[in-house]
Structure 1
Amino acid sequence: MPHTSQPLHRRAALRASIGLLCGLSAHAVLPSLSWAQSSPASASRSAKSGLPKIVAVGGAITECVYALGAQAQLVGTDTTSVYPSAAQNTPKVGYMRQLSAEGLLSLKPDALIASGEAGPPAVIAQIRAAGVRVDLLEADHSWAEVQRKLLAVGEATQQLPRAQALLAQLDSQWAKAQAHVAAFAGKRPRALFILAHGGAAQVAGMQTAANAMLGFAGAENVMRGFSGYRPMTAEAMAAAAPEIILTSTQGLDAMGGEARFWERPELALTPAYRRRALVHMDALELLGFGPRMPATVLALSKRMGVA
Protein backbone atom coordinates (compact mmCIF):
# COMPACT_ATOMS: atom_id res chain seq x y z
CA MET A 1 0.00 0.00 0.00
CA PRO A 2 1.56 3.33 -0.99
CA HIS A 3 2.34 5.82 1.76
CA THR A 4 4.05 8.54 -0.21
CA SER A 5 3.11 12.19 -0.05
CA GLN A 6 4.56 15.65 -0.59
CA PRO A 7 4.23 17.41 2.79
CA LEU A 8 4.07 21.18 3.04
CA HIS A 9 6.78 23.16 4.80
CA ARG A 10 6.65 21.78 8.36
CA ARG A 11 5.70 24.93 10.27
CA ALA A 12 2.98 26.08 7.88
CA ALA A 13 1.62 22.57 7.49
CA LEU A 14 1.35 21.99 11.23
CA ARG A 15 -0.50 25.28 11.64
CA ALA A 16 -2.90 24.24 8.89
CA SER A 17 -3.60 20.80 10.31
CA ILE A 18 -3.99 21.98 13.90
CA GLY A 19 -6.41 24.70 12.81
CA LEU A 20 -8.45 22.24 10.77
CA LEU A 21 -8.65 19.59 13.44
CA CYS A 22 -9.48 21.95 16.25
CA GLY A 23 -12.27 23.43 14.10
CA LEU A 24 -10.94 19.97 12.24
CA SER A 25 -0.35 12.71 0.41
CA ALA A 26 0.12 14.53 -2.41
CA HIS A 27 -1.73 17.70 -3.26
CA ALA A 28 -4.23 16.08 -5.63
CA VAL A 29 -5.46 18.90 -7.83
CA LEU A 30 -8.71 18.41 -9.68
CA PRO A 31 -8.10 18.27 -13.42
CA SER A 32 -10.65 21.01 -14.07
CA LEU A 33 -9.17 23.43 -11.56
CA SER A 34 -6.19 25.72 -11.87
CA TRP A 35 -4.78 27.63 -8.90
CA ALA A 36 -3.07 30.56 -10.61
CA GLN A 37 -0.30 32.47 -8.89
CA SER A 38 -1.04 36.06 -7.94
CA SER A 39 1.39 38.85 -8.65
CA PRO A 40 1.79 42.53 -7.69
CA ALA A 41 0.66 43.48 -11.19
CA SER A 42 -2.53 41.44 -10.94
CA ALA A 43 -3.23 42.84 -7.47
CA SER A 44 -2.84 46.35 -8.83
CA ARG A 45 -5.25 45.57 -11.66
CA SER A 46 -7.75 44.23 -9.13
CA ALA A 47 -7.54 47.40 -7.05
CA LYS A 48 -8.11 49.56 -10.13
CA SER A 49 -11.05 47.43 -11.21
CA GLY A 50 -12.94 48.21 -8.03
CA LEU A 51 -13.51 44.53 -7.19
CA PRO A 52 -13.99 43.79 -3.47
CA LYS A 53 -10.88 43.16 -1.38
CA ILE A 54 -11.15 39.92 0.58
CA VAL A 55 -9.72 38.41 3.74
CA ALA A 56 -10.17 34.61 3.77
CA VAL A 57 -10.03 32.74 7.08
CA GLY A 58 -9.95 28.98 6.64
CA GLY A 59 -7.69 26.99 4.34
CA ALA A 60 -10.52 25.60 2.20
CA ILE A 61 -12.07 29.06 1.79
CA THR A 62 -8.76 30.38 0.52
CA GLU A 63 -8.58 27.43 -1.88
CA CYS A 64 -11.96 28.47 -3.26
CA VAL A 65 -10.65 31.99 -3.91
CA TYR A 66 -7.77 30.58 -5.95
CA ALA A 67 -9.98 28.05 -7.71
CA LEU A 68 -12.10 30.96 -8.98
CA GLY A 69 -9.04 32.90 -10.13
CA ALA A 70 -9.87 35.67 -7.65
CA GLN A 71 -6.58 35.55 -5.73
CA ALA A 72 -5.68 39.11 -6.81
CA GLN A 73 -8.55 40.25 -4.56
CA LEU A 74 -7.00 38.60 -1.48
CA VAL A 75 -5.50 41.11 0.92
CA GLY A 76 -5.06 38.63 3.77
CA THR A 77 -5.49 35.03 4.93
CA ASP A 78 -5.17 33.10 8.19
CA THR A 79 -2.42 30.65 9.16
CA THR A 80 -4.40 27.60 7.99
CA SER A 81 -4.35 28.95 4.42
CA VAL A 82 -1.31 27.18 3.02
CA TYR A 83 -2.58 25.77 -0.29
CA PRO A 84 -1.84 26.53 -3.04
CA SER A 85 1.72 27.51 -2.17
CA ALA A 86 1.11 31.14 -3.23
CA ALA A 87 -1.32 31.45 -0.30
CA GLN A 88 1.60 31.12 2.09
CA ASN A 89 2.94 34.45 0.83
CA THR A 90 -0.24 36.42 1.56
CA PRO A 91 -0.41 38.77 4.58
CA LYS A 92 -1.47 36.70 7.59
CA VAL A 93 -4.13 37.74 10.10
CA GLY A 94 -3.28 35.01 12.64
CA TYR A 95 -4.98 31.82 13.73
CA MET A 96 -8.68 31.67 12.91
CA ARG A 97 -9.84 31.60 16.56
CA GLN A 98 -7.49 34.36 17.66
CA LEU A 99 -8.05 37.12 15.12
CA SER A 100 -7.12 40.72 15.82
CA ALA A 101 -9.53 43.39 14.66
CA GLU A 102 -6.76 45.98 14.41
CA GLY A 103 -4.51 43.81 12.29
CA LEU A 104 -7.30 42.64 10.02
CA LEU A 105 -8.81 46.07 9.51
CA SER A 106 -5.38 47.51 8.67
CA LEU A 107 -5.62 45.51 5.42
CA LYS A 108 -8.74 47.52 4.51
CA PRO A 109 -10.85 44.60 3.31
CA ASP A 110 -14.35 44.93 1.93
CA ALA A 111 -15.30 41.44 3.08
CA LEU A 112 -14.23 38.72 5.51
CA ILE A 113 -15.16 35.17 4.54
CA ALA A 114 -14.49 32.77 7.38
CA SER A 115 -15.25 29.47 9.02
CA GLY A 116 -18.02 29.68 11.59
CA GLU A 117 -15.38 28.93 14.22
CA ALA A 118 -13.53 32.19 13.52
CA GLY A 119 -13.26 34.53 16.46
CA PRO A 120 -13.23 35.69 19.15
CA PRO A 121 -16.86 36.88 18.83
CA ALA A 122 -15.97 40.35 20.08
CA VAL A 123 -13.44 40.74 17.27
CA ILE A 124 -15.98 39.61 14.67
CA ALA A 125 -18.40 42.20 16.04
CA GLN A 126 -15.73 44.91 15.77
CA ILE A 127 -15.02 43.98 12.16
CA ARG A 128 -18.73 44.15 11.31
CA ALA A 129 -19.07 47.48 13.11
CA ALA A 130 -16.27 48.86 10.94
CA GLY A 131 -18.43 48.27 7.87
CA VAL A 132 -16.75 45.09 6.62
CA ARG A 133 -19.05 42.45 5.20
CA VAL A 134 -18.66 39.28 7.31
CA ASP A 135 -19.71 35.83 6.06
CA LEU A 136 -19.30 33.06 8.65
CA LEU A 137 -19.84 29.66 7.03
CA GLU A 138 -21.21 26.67 8.89
CA ALA A 139 -19.09 23.50 8.96
CA ASP A 140 -21.22 20.34 9.06
CA HIS A 141 -18.82 17.93 7.30
CA SER A 142 -20.99 17.45 4.24
CA TRP A 143 -20.76 18.04 0.51
CA ALA A 144 -23.17 20.93 1.07
CA GLU A 145 -20.42 22.58 3.15
CA VAL A 146 -18.17 22.65 0.07
CA GLN A 147 -21.00 24.08 -2.00
CA ARG A 148 -21.64 26.83 0.54
CA LYS A 149 -17.98 27.83 0.62
CA LEU A 150 -17.62 28.06 -3.13
CA LEU A 151 -20.84 30.03 -3.64
CA ALA A 152 -20.09 32.39 -0.74
CA VAL A 153 -16.65 33.14 -2.17
CA GLY A 154 -18.17 33.60 -5.62
CA GLU A 155 -20.69 36.11 -4.31
CA ALA A 156 -18.21 38.03 -2.16
CA THR A 157 -15.66 38.31 -4.98
CA GLN A 158 -18.35 39.14 -7.58
CA GLN A 159 -17.48 35.92 -9.40
CA LEU A 160 -20.78 34.12 -8.81
CA PRO A 161 -21.34 32.90 -12.42
CA ARG A 162 -17.84 31.41 -12.43
CA ALA A 163 -18.49 29.81 -9.02
CA GLN A 164 -21.74 28.28 -10.26
CA ALA A 165 -20.05 26.87 -13.35
CA LEU A 166 -17.23 25.38 -11.31
CA LEU A 167 -19.68 23.97 -8.79
CA ALA A 168 -21.53 22.16 -11.58
CA GLN A 169 -18.24 20.45 -12.51
CA LEU A 170 -17.51 19.58 -8.91
CA ASP A 171 -21.03 18.24 -8.33
CA SER A 172 -20.49 15.88 -11.28
CA GLN A 173 -17.11 14.77 -9.94
CA TRP A 174 -18.61 14.26 -6.49
CA ALA A 175 -21.40 12.08 -7.91
CA LYS A 176 -18.83 9.94 -9.74
CA ALA A 177 -16.71 9.54 -6.61
CA GLN A 178 -19.72 8.45 -4.57
CA ALA A 179 -20.84 6.07 -7.31
CA HIS A 180 -17.38 4.49 -7.24
CA VAL A 181 -17.66 3.92 -3.49
CA ALA A 182 -21.25 2.64 -3.74
CA ALA A 183 -20.24 0.09 -6.40
CA PHE A 184 -17.70 -1.55 -4.09
CA ALA A 185 -18.89 -5.09 -3.42
CA GLY A 186 -16.36 -6.00 -0.75
CA LYS A 187 -16.40 -5.68 3.02
CA ARG A 188 -16.15 -2.14 4.32
CA PRO A 189 -12.72 -1.76 5.94
CA ARG A 190 -12.73 -1.06 9.67
CA ALA A 191 -10.75 2.14 9.96
CA LEU A 192 -9.46 4.47 12.64
CA PHE A 193 -8.30 8.08 12.35
CA ILE A 194 -5.51 9.20 14.66
CA LEU A 195 -4.84 12.87 15.32
CA ALA A 196 -1.31 13.28 16.60
CA HIS A 197 0.50 16.57 17.13
CA GLY A 198 3.14 17.49 19.66
CA GLY A 199 3.42 13.91 20.92
CA ALA A 200 -0.24 13.57 21.99
CA ALA A 201 -2.46 11.11 20.13
CA GLN A 202 -6.24 11.13 19.93
CA VAL A 203 -8.78 9.10 17.99
CA ALA A 204 -11.71 10.53 16.04
CA GLY A 205 -15.25 9.66 17.01
CA MET A 206 -18.56 10.79 15.53
CA GLN A 207 -19.30 14.35 14.38
CA THR A 208 -15.75 14.96 13.20
CA ALA A 209 -14.39 15.75 9.76
CA ALA A 210 -12.35 12.54 9.93
CA ASN A 211 -15.44 10.42 10.62
CA ALA A 212 -17.24 12.00 7.66
CA MET A 213 -14.32 11.39 5.30
CA LEU A 214 -14.01 7.76 6.34
CA GLY A 215 -17.69 7.27 5.57
CA PHE A 216 -17.52 9.06 2.23
CA ALA A 217 -14.56 6.88 1.22
CA GLY A 218 -16.41 3.67 2.07
CA ALA A 219 -14.82 2.77 5.40
CA GLU A 220 -16.37 2.14 8.82
CA ASN A 221 -15.10 4.26 11.69
CA VAL A 222 -14.44 1.83 14.56
CA MET A 223 -14.83 4.63 17.14
CA ARG A 224 -18.59 5.03 17.23
CA GLY A 225 -19.47 5.40 20.90
CA PHE A 226 -18.62 9.08 21.33
CA SER A 227 -18.37 12.40 19.51
CA GLY A 228 -15.25 14.46 18.94
CA TYR A 229 -11.75 13.30 19.88
CA ARG A 230 -10.52 11.18 22.79
CA PRO A 231 -7.09 10.05 23.93
CA MET A 232 -5.78 6.89 22.30
CA THR A 233 -5.47 4.07 24.83
CA ALA A 234 -4.36 0.45 24.61
CA GLU A 235 -7.77 -0.74 25.81
CA ALA A 236 -9.56 1.25 23.11
CA MET A 237 -7.22 -0.04 20.42
CA ALA A 238 -7.71 -3.66 21.40
CA ALA A 239 -11.50 -3.32 21.57
CA ALA A 240 -11.83 -1.39 18.31
CA ALA A 241 -9.53 -3.70 16.30
CA PRO A 242 -9.04 -1.39 13.29
CA GLU A 243 -7.87 -3.04 10.09
CA ILE A 244 -6.45 0.19 8.69
CA ILE A 245 -5.29 3.44 10.24
CA LEU A 246 -5.62 6.89 8.69
CA THR A 247 -3.71 9.94 9.85
CA SER A 248 -2.45 13.25 8.49
CA THR A 249 0.99 13.52 6.95
CA GLN A 250 1.77 16.33 9.37
CA GLY A 251 0.75 14.18 12.34
CA LEU A 252 2.91 11.33 11.08
CA ASP A 253 5.84 13.72 10.78
CA ALA A 254 5.21 14.97 14.32
CA MET A 255 5.47 11.39 15.60
CA GLY A 256 8.83 10.91 13.89
CA GLY A 257 7.77 9.12 10.72
CA GLU A 258 6.20 5.77 9.92
CA ALA A 259 8.75 3.57 11.70
CA ARG A 260 8.34 5.50 14.95
CA PHE A 261 4.57 5.52 14.51
CA TRP A 262 4.39 1.73 14.61
CA GLU A 263 6.54 1.66 17.76
CA ARG A 264 3.60 2.93 19.83
CA PRO A 265 2.70 -0.05 22.05
CA GLU A 266 -1.07 0.41 21.85
CA LEU A 267 -0.98 -0.10 18.07
CA ALA A 268 0.58 -3.56 18.45
CA LEU A 269 -2.82 -4.80 19.65
CA THR A 270 -4.55 -4.08 16.31
CA PRO A 271 -4.97 -5.99 13.05
CA ALA A 272 -3.68 -2.86 11.30
CA TYR A 273 -0.33 -3.31 13.07
CA ARG A 274 0.10 -6.85 11.75
CA ARG A 275 -0.49 -5.62 8.20
CA ARG A 276 1.25 -2.27 8.73
CA ALA A 277 -1.87 -0.82 7.11
CA LEU A 278 -1.40 2.94 7.29
CA VAL A 279 -2.67 5.69 5.00
CA HIS A 280 -1.70 9.32 5.43
CA MET A 281 -2.70 12.42 3.51
CA ASP A 282 -2.11 16.15 3.83
CA ALA A 283 -4.33 17.52 6.62
CA LEU A 284 -5.90 20.36 4.65
CA GLU A 285 -6.60 18.14 1.67
CA LEU A 286 -8.07 15.38 3.83
CA LEU A 287 -10.10 17.39 6.35
CA GLY A 288 -10.54 20.84 4.82
CA PHE A 289 -13.76 20.17 2.87
CA GLY A 290 -12.64 22.34 -0.03
CA PRO A 291 -12.80 22.11 -3.83
CA ARG A 292 -10.36 19.16 -3.95
CA MET A 293 -12.77 16.97 -2.00
CA PRO A 294 -14.14 14.78 -4.86
CA ALA A 295 -10.62 13.85 -5.95
CA THR A 296 -9.54 13.36 -2.33
CA VAL A 297 -12.42 10.99 -1.51
CA LEU A 298 -11.72 8.96 -4.64
CA ALA A 299 -8.00 8.75 -3.86
CA LEU A 300 -8.66 7.84 -0.22
CA SER A 301 -11.13 5.10 -1.13
CA LYS A 302 -8.62 3.49 -3.48
CA ARG A 303 -5.80 3.67 -0.95
CA MET A 304 -8.00 2.00 1.67
CA GLY A 305 -8.88 -0.80 -0.73
CA VAL A 306 -12.38 0.34 -1.65
CA ALA A 307 -11.94 -0.09 -5.38
Structure 2
Amino acid sequence: MSRKPWIAGLLLAAFALPGQAAERLVVVTPDIAEIVVALGAAGEVVGRDRSSQEAALAKAQVVGFSRALNAETIAKLKPTLVLGSAAAQPPTLWPQLKQLKLRAEEVSAREDGRDFAEAIVKVGQLLGRDAAAAKLAADWKQGMRLRPARPVRYLVSYDGSLAAGAETAPDTLIRAAGGVNAAAGLNGFKPLTREAWQALKPDVIILGSHTAAVYGGKDAFAKRPEIAATPAGKQGRIYLMPPKQAMLVGLGSPAVVEQMVKM
Protein backbone atom coordinates (compact mmCIF):
# COMPACT_ATOMS: atom_id res chain seq x y z
CA MET A 1 0.00 0.00 0.00
CA SER A 2 1.39 3.42 -0.95
CA ARG A 3 2.05 6.00 1.72
CA LYS A 4 -0.62 8.62 2.25
CA PRO A 5 0.32 12.03 0.75
CA TRP A 6 0.58 13.75 4.14
CA ILE A 7 2.94 11.04 5.45
CA ALA A 8 5.15 11.43 2.38
CA GLY A 9 5.21 15.17 2.98
CA LEU A 10 6.36 14.68 6.56
CA LEU A 11 9.14 12.38 5.45
CA LEU A 12 10.34 14.86 2.86
CA ALA A 13 10.40 17.62 5.45
CA ALA A 14 12.25 15.47 7.94
CA PHE A 15 15.03 14.71 5.52
CA ALA A 16 15.26 18.16 3.90
CA LEU A 17 18.77 19.52 3.71
CA PRO A 18 19.71 22.65 5.72
CA GLY A 19 18.94 25.86 3.83
CA GLN A 20 16.11 24.32 1.78
CA ALA A 21 13.32 25.54 4.03
CA ALA A 22 11.76 28.78 2.85
CA GLU A 23 12.70 31.85 4.87
CA ARG A 24 10.62 34.86 5.81
CA LEU A 25 13.11 37.45 4.62
CA VAL A 26 13.16 41.17 5.24
CA VAL A 27 15.74 43.06 3.17
CA VAL A 28 16.40 46.56 4.46
CA THR A 29 18.80 47.99 1.83
CA PRO A 30 18.51 48.01 -1.97
CA ASP A 31 22.04 46.70 -2.59
CA ILE A 32 21.32 43.48 -0.70
CA ALA A 33 17.79 43.23 -2.11
CA GLU A 34 19.35 43.03 -5.58
CA ILE A 35 21.46 40.07 -4.51
CA VAL A 36 18.47 38.23 -3.03
CA VAL A 37 16.53 38.69 -6.27
CA ALA A 38 19.49 37.67 -8.44
CA LEU A 39 19.87 34.47 -6.40
CA GLY A 40 16.23 33.57 -7.01
CA ALA A 41 14.96 34.10 -3.46
CA ALA A 42 12.52 36.95 -4.14
CA GLY A 43 9.60 34.69 -3.30
CA GLU A 44 10.84 34.41 0.30
CA VAL A 45 10.89 38.19 0.87
CA VAL A 46 8.03 39.41 3.04
CA GLY A 47 9.43 42.90 3.73
CA ARG A 48 11.67 45.44 2.00
CA ASP A 49 12.83 49.01 2.34
CA ARG A 50 11.18 51.65 0.18
CA SER A 51 14.10 52.01 -2.24
CA SER A 52 14.22 48.27 -3.07
CA GLN A 53 11.96 48.51 -6.10
CA GLU A 54 12.66 45.35 -8.09
CA ALA A 55 9.47 44.09 -9.74
CA ALA A 56 9.96 40.68 -8.10
CA LEU A 57 9.60 42.33 -4.68
CA ALA A 58 6.44 44.29 -5.47
CA LYS A 59 4.29 42.21 -3.10
CA ALA A 60 6.68 42.53 -0.14
CA GLN A 61 5.56 44.95 2.57
CA VAL A 62 7.51 48.22 2.84
CA VAL A 63 9.11 48.63 6.28
CA GLY A 64 10.43 52.18 5.78
CA PHE A 65 13.34 53.97 4.12
CA SER A 66 16.76 52.30 4.44
CA ARG A 67 18.31 55.38 6.08
CA ALA A 68 15.59 55.68 8.75
CA LEU A 69 14.45 52.22 9.84
CA ASN A 70 12.59 51.08 12.93
CA ALA A 71 13.37 47.68 14.47
CA GLU A 72 9.87 47.20 15.87
CA THR A 73 8.27 47.76 12.45
CA ILE A 74 10.52 45.08 10.98
CA ALA A 75 9.79 42.68 13.85
CA LYS A 76 6.02 42.89 13.20
CA LEU A 77 6.54 40.88 10.00
CA LYS A 78 7.98 38.00 12.07
CA PRO A 79 10.99 37.47 9.80
CA THR A 80 13.22 34.44 10.13
CA LEU A 81 16.11 36.47 8.65
CA VAL A 82 16.80 40.19 8.19
CA LEU A 83 19.46 41.16 5.65
CA GLY A 84 21.08 44.48 4.85
CA SER A 85 24.27 46.48 4.53
CA ALA A 86 25.91 49.45 6.22
CA ALA A 87 23.45 51.61 4.27
CA ALA A 88 20.81 50.61 6.84
CA GLN A 89 20.40 53.32 9.45
CA PRO A 90 20.34 54.25 12.27
CA PRO A 91 23.54 52.49 13.44
CA THR A 92 21.62 51.07 16.40
CA LEU A 93 19.33 49.06 14.08
CA TRP A 94 21.32 45.81 14.10
CA PRO A 95 21.78 45.53 17.89
CA GLN A 96 18.11 46.45 18.35
CA LEU A 97 17.02 43.68 15.99
CA LYS A 98 19.12 41.18 17.92
CA GLN A 99 17.68 42.43 21.22
CA LEU A 100 14.28 41.54 19.75
CA LYS A 101 15.63 37.98 19.24
CA LEU A 102 15.62 38.31 15.45
CA ARG A 103 18.22 36.69 13.24
CA ALA A 104 19.74 39.79 11.61
CA GLU A 105 22.82 39.87 9.37
CA GLU A 106 24.64 43.01 8.24
CA VAL A 107 26.35 41.24 5.34
CA SER A 108 28.23 44.31 4.09
CA ALA A 109 29.69 46.53 6.81
CA ARG A 110 31.61 49.05 4.68
CA GLU A 111 29.96 52.31 3.61
CA ASP A 112 32.21 52.35 0.52
CA GLY A 113 30.91 48.97 -0.66
CA ARG A 114 34.36 47.48 -1.21
CA ASP A 115 33.24 44.27 0.50
CA PHE A 116 30.28 43.81 -1.87
CA ALA A 117 31.63 40.62 -3.47
CA GLU A 118 32.00 39.11 0.01
CA ALA A 119 28.42 40.21 0.76
CA ILE A 120 27.16 38.27 -2.28
CA VAL A 121 28.90 35.14 -1.01
CA LYS A 122 27.51 35.63 2.52
CA VAL A 123 23.94 36.02 1.25
CA GLY A 124 24.38 32.87 -0.82
CA GLN A 125 25.56 30.95 2.24
CA LEU A 126 22.66 32.20 4.36
CA LEU A 127 20.11 31.26 1.70
CA GLY A 128 21.65 27.92 0.74
CA ARG A 129 22.60 29.18 -2.72
CA ASP A 130 26.38 28.96 -2.43
CA ALA A 131 27.23 27.97 -6.01
CA ALA A 132 25.05 30.64 -7.62
CA ALA A 133 26.43 33.27 -5.25
CA ALA A 134 30.04 32.30 -5.98
CA LYS A 135 29.47 32.75 -9.71
CA LEU A 136 27.60 36.02 -9.21
CA ALA A 137 30.43 37.36 -7.03
CA ALA A 138 33.10 36.32 -9.55
CA ASP A 139 31.23 37.98 -12.43
CA TRP A 140 30.76 41.15 -10.39
CA LYS A 141 34.45 41.33 -9.45
CA GLN A 142 35.40 40.93 -13.10
CA GLY A 143 33.05 43.77 -14.03
CA MET A 144 34.59 45.98 -11.33
CA ARG A 145 38.19 45.43 -12.43
CA LEU A 146 40.19 48.65 -12.35
CA ARG A 147 40.18 50.54 -15.63
CA PRO A 148 43.40 52.21 -16.86
CA ALA A 149 44.27 55.27 -14.78
CA ARG A 150 43.33 58.63 -16.28
CA PRO A 151 43.88 62.16 -14.92
CA VAL A 152 40.12 62.86 -14.92
CA ARG A 153 38.90 64.52 -11.73
CA TYR A 154 35.39 63.41 -10.74
CA LEU A 155 33.24 65.08 -8.12
CA VAL A 156 30.06 63.30 -7.01
CA SER A 157 27.54 65.37 -5.08
CA TYR A 158 24.41 64.12 -3.35
CA ASP A 159 22.50 67.40 -3.64
CA GLY A 160 24.73 70.08 -5.14
CA SER A 161 26.25 70.73 -1.72
CA LEU A 162 27.42 67.48 -0.12
CA ALA A 163 30.39 65.96 -1.93
CA ALA A 164 31.58 62.36 -1.70
CA GLY A 165 35.07 62.08 -0.24
CA ALA A 166 37.14 59.05 0.71
CA GLU A 167 35.50 55.91 2.13
CA THR A 168 32.28 56.41 0.19
CA ALA A 169 30.61 54.37 -2.55
CA PRO A 170 31.22 57.11 -5.16
CA ASP A 171 34.93 57.01 -4.30
CA THR A 172 34.95 53.26 -5.01
CA LEU A 173 33.20 53.81 -8.36
CA ILE A 174 35.57 56.62 -9.37
CA ARG A 175 38.62 54.49 -8.59
CA ALA A 176 37.22 51.56 -10.57
CA ALA A 177 36.71 53.91 -13.53
CA GLY A 178 40.39 54.84 -13.38
CA GLY A 179 39.62 58.41 -12.36
CA VAL A 180 40.62 60.71 -9.51
CA ASN A 181 38.18 61.67 -6.77
CA ALA A 182 38.52 65.46 -6.62
CA ALA A 183 37.18 65.36 -3.04
CA ALA A 184 39.46 62.53 -1.84
CA GLY A 185 40.92 64.87 0.79
CA LEU A 186 37.57 64.75 2.60
CA ASN A 187 36.22 61.78 4.54
CA GLY A 188 32.63 60.73 3.92
CA PHE A 189 30.06 63.20 2.56
CA LYS A 190 30.92 66.81 3.39
CA PRO A 191 29.39 70.17 2.34
CA LEU A 192 31.47 72.30 -0.01
CA THR A 193 31.79 76.08 0.04
CA ARG A 194 31.68 78.02 -3.22
CA GLU A 195 35.42 78.46 -3.03
CA ALA A 196 35.92 74.71 -2.57
CA TRP A 197 33.98 73.88 -5.74
CA GLN A 198 36.42 75.98 -7.73
CA ALA A 199 39.52 74.86 -5.86
CA LEU A 200 38.81 71.15 -6.45
CA LYS A 201 38.74 71.75 -10.24
CA PRO A 202 36.51 68.81 -11.19
CA ASP A 203 36.54 67.71 -14.83
CA VAL A 204 33.27 65.80 -14.31
CA ILE A 205 30.48 66.52 -11.85
CA ILE A 206 27.82 63.92 -11.07
CA LEU A 207 24.69 64.99 -9.19
CA GLY A 208 22.01 62.87 -7.53
CA SER A 209 19.00 63.12 -9.84
CA HIS A 210 16.57 62.62 -6.93
CA THR A 211 17.59 65.94 -5.35
CA ALA A 212 17.27 68.08 -8.48
CA ALA A 213 14.69 70.29 -6.77
CA VAL A 214 17.29 71.21 -4.13
CA TYR A 215 19.84 72.60 -6.60
CA GLY A 216 17.29 73.78 -9.17
CA GLY A 217 18.08 71.22 -11.87
CA LYS A 218 21.23 70.67 -13.92
CA ASP A 219 20.97 73.84 -16.00
CA ALA A 220 20.51 76.10 -12.98
CA PHE A 221 23.35 74.34 -11.18
CA ALA A 222 25.67 74.75 -14.16
CA LYS A 223 25.04 78.52 -14.16
CA ARG A 224 26.32 79.03 -10.63
CA PRO A 225 29.48 81.16 -10.90
CA GLU A 226 31.60 78.70 -8.92
CA ILE A 227 30.44 75.80 -11.11
CA ALA A 228 30.71 77.65 -14.41
CA ALA A 229 34.35 78.39 -13.53
CA THR A 230 35.29 74.71 -13.14
CA PRO A 231 36.60 72.55 -16.03
CA ALA A 232 33.36 70.52 -15.78
CA GLY A 233 31.24 73.67 -16.07
CA LYS A 234 33.24 75.05 -18.98
CA GLN A 235 33.07 71.76 -20.91
CA GLY A 236 29.46 70.92 -20.04
CA ARG A 237 30.44 67.70 -18.30
CA ILE A 238 27.75 67.74 -15.62
CA TYR A 239 25.58 64.62 -15.32
CA LEU A 240 22.60 63.41 -13.31
CA MET A 241 22.43 59.87 -11.93
CA PRO A 242 19.92 58.08 -9.69
CA PRO A 243 21.21 57.61 -6.13
CA LYS A 244 21.10 53.82 -6.44
CA GLN A 245 23.70 54.10 -9.19
CA ALA A 246 25.90 56.99 -8.08
CA MET A 247 25.69 56.71 -4.27
CA LEU A 248 25.64 52.96 -3.66
CA VAL A 249 27.74 50.00 -4.75
CA GLY A 250 25.54 47.21 -6.11
CA LEU A 251 25.11 44.62 -8.82
CA GLY A 252 24.70 47.40 -11.38
CA SER A 253 27.98 49.10 -10.47
CA PRO A 254 30.04 47.57 -13.33
CA ALA A 255 27.67 49.24 -15.82
CA VAL A 256 27.87 52.51 -13.86
CA VAL A 257 31.67 52.38 -14.01
CA GLU A 258 31.47 51.97 -17.80
CA GLN A 259 29.23 55.04 -17.95
CA MET A 260 31.72 57.03 -15.90
CA VAL A 261 34.61 56.05 -18.15
CA LYS A 262 32.75 57.61 -21.08
CA MET A 263 31.85 60.87 -19.31
Give the structure-1-normalised TM-score.
0.71
Instruction: Give the letter aligned to residue 189 of structure 1.
Output: V
| Partner residue of 1:251 out of 211, 218, 243 | 211
Deviation at 1:224, TM superposition (A): 3.2
| 1:234 and 1:269 in contact (8 A); partners too | no
Deviation at 1:91, TM superposition (A): 0.9
Instruction: Give the letter aligned to residue 239 of structure 1.
Output: A
Equivalent position of 2:248 in the other structure: 288
In 1, the alpha carbon distance for the partners of 2:89 and 2:235 equals: 43
Q: Please, which runs of 5 or more residues in structure 1 have no aligned partner?
A: 1-48
The 1:97–1:52 alpha-carbon spacing in structure 2 relative to 1, beyond 3 Å, is same
| Partner residue of 2:52 out of 78, 81, 84 | 81
| 1:60 and 1:291 in contact (8 A); partners too | yes
Equivalent position of 2:231 in the other structure: 271
Deviation at 1:142, TM superposition (A): 4.7
Give the structure-2-normalised TM-score.
0.81
In 2, the alpha carbon distance for the partners of 1:54 and 1:130 equals: 16
56-65 vs 127-136, which moves further? 127-136
* Larger relative contact order, structure 1 or 2 (CA cutoff 8 Å, min sep 6): 1
Q: Give aligned pairs, total.
A: 243
The 1:121–1:192 alpha-carbon spacing in structure 2 relative to 1, beyond 3 Å, is closer
The 1:258–1:76 alpha-carbon spacing in structure 2 relative to 1, beyond 3 Å, is same
| 1:51 and 1:158 in contact (8 A); partners too | no
In 2, the alpha carbon distance for the partners of 1:230 and 1:122 equals: 22
Deviation at 1:286, TM superposition (A): 2.5
| Partner residue of 2:151 out of 181, 188, 204 | 188
Deviation at 1:73, TM superposition (A): 0.7
Aligned partner of residue 260 in structure 1, secondary structure? helix
Render the CA deviation track for 1:115-155: whole Å, top value 9, x for unaligned: 23535566534432444211113115254x21122122212
Aligned partner of residue 144 in structure 2, secondary structure? helix
CA RMSD of aligned residues (A): 2.4
**Structure with greater proportional helix content:** 1
| 2:45 and 2:57 in contact (8 A); partners too | no
In 2, the alpha carbon distance for the partners of 1:107 and 1:265 equals: 51
Equivalent position of 2:61 in the other structure: 91
Larger Cα-atom Rg: 2
2:216 pairs with 1:216: no
Q: Please, which runs of 5 or more residues in structure 2 have no aligned partner?
A: 1-19
| 2:173 and 2:253 in contact (8 A); partners too | no
Deviation at 1:255, TM superposition (A): 2.9
Deviation at 1:81, TM superposition (A): 1.8
List structure 1 runs of 4+ shifted beyond 4 angstroms: 119-123
Equivalent position of 1:108 in the other structure: 78
Render the CA deviation track for 1:153-176: whole Å, top value 9, x for unaligned: 21222222221122232233333x
Query: What are the residue-to-residue correspondences of 1:126-145 with 2, within 5 Å?
Result: 126-136=96-106, 137-143=108-114, 145=115
In 2, the alpha carbon distance for the partners of 1:171 and 1:194 equals: 25
